Amino acid sequence: MDLYDLRDPGDLVAPVLVASFDGWLDAGSAATTAAAALAADAETIATFDTDRLYDYRARRPTLEIANGRPDRLTWPELALRRARFGARDVLVLSGPEPDYRWREMERATVELAHRLEVSTWISLGAIPAAVPHTRPVTMMGTQSRSGLLRGGVEPGPEGILRVPAAAISMLDVAIARSGIPAIGYFAQVPHYVTGSYPPASVELLRLVGLHLEHEIETGTLRSEGTTMLARLDAATTADETTAAHVARLEAMVDEARRPAGDDLITEIEQFLREHDGSGDRP
């Protein structure tokens, strides 16, 4: 049985595919929020068999109860949507990170990308990191060959970094090995932030726009980010210990110190402990 159902996408000319999943590589929901902005009003052209990909005990459907009567179930969905930005087609693959059949998902996604003649794959993610909210969002980048990254983002960190793999990374590697140029942008979200972090989503959208040569509308994300940063400023100012911690992080950034692999691993391990692999968003 096919893992996905593909509808006629119409004429596509060298589309860019942007992918993101929720889970631990989506700190602050930054990547999936950016993907949702890209896919706003987009047409669904492919859906995946979620019964084979998800553990519904971990990702339970949402039940709506209207006036005491069970009314509607909303199930987890993994879909590929087609959007248009200027003269470019953009395919957006987003949803909950699959629980099962990662290797089958890998084969299906590579097959789908080649069937649709995808020209470039862009992974979006976000990781918790020792960075302050008072500085511009720091980005880490990956690329399948030199010269693919945009916006001054450098590949890194330097050296070997070993972390638990996410499904998006598994697909990124498989796509690159299949011959499609693959890029990854990963926003660093302040580790002390809980809930969504719109500034990182805005920066991810800016970088995707550079590849599309088209400025992407961010809707309310920019104003939401401004409001959030103001609240964080107020909260850190009110507590001396927190203010001192943020000041240390500022000094690290101002000294242009790139994060060491060990530092990133420590932050990621802490994040995984706090979210226990249940798939809940940070």
pLDDT at residue 254, as a whole number = 84
Residue 282: predicted pLDDT: 37
The pLDDT tens digits of the residues spanning 11-45 come to 998 899 999 999 889 999 999 999 999 999 899 99
| Residue 160 pLDDT class (50, 70, 90 cuts) | confident
- Give yes or no for a contact between 272 and 279, defined as CB atoms under 8 angstroms apart: no
Q: State the average pLDDT for the chain.
A: 90
**The pLDDT of residue 269:** 58
H/E stretch holding 30 reads helix 30-38
Select the more confidently predicted residue: 149 or 1. 149
Over residues 69-95, the pLDDT tens digits come to 999 999 999 999 999 998 889 999 999
Rounded CA-CA distance 16/24 in Å is 24
Neighbours of 259 (CB within 10 A): 21
Contact 35, 92 (CB under 8 A): yes
Distance between CA atoms of residues 156 and 281, nearest Å: 25
| C-alpha dist (Å) from residue 144 to 56, 177, 190, 228, 250 | 34, 9, 27, 35, 31
Q: Hunting for tokens 């950016």 — which residue is that?
A: 34
Q: Is residue 264 a contact partner of residue 271, using CB atoms and an 8 Å limit? A: no
Rg of the chain over CA atoms, in angstroms?
19
Whether a cis peptide bond, with omega within 30° of 0, leads into 190 is no
CA 199 – CA 29 distance, rounded (Å): 11
Helix axes 102-115, 167-177, angle to 10 degrees: 50
Q: What is the pTM of this model?
A: 0.87
Q: Say what percent of the chain tops pLDDT 70.
A: 90
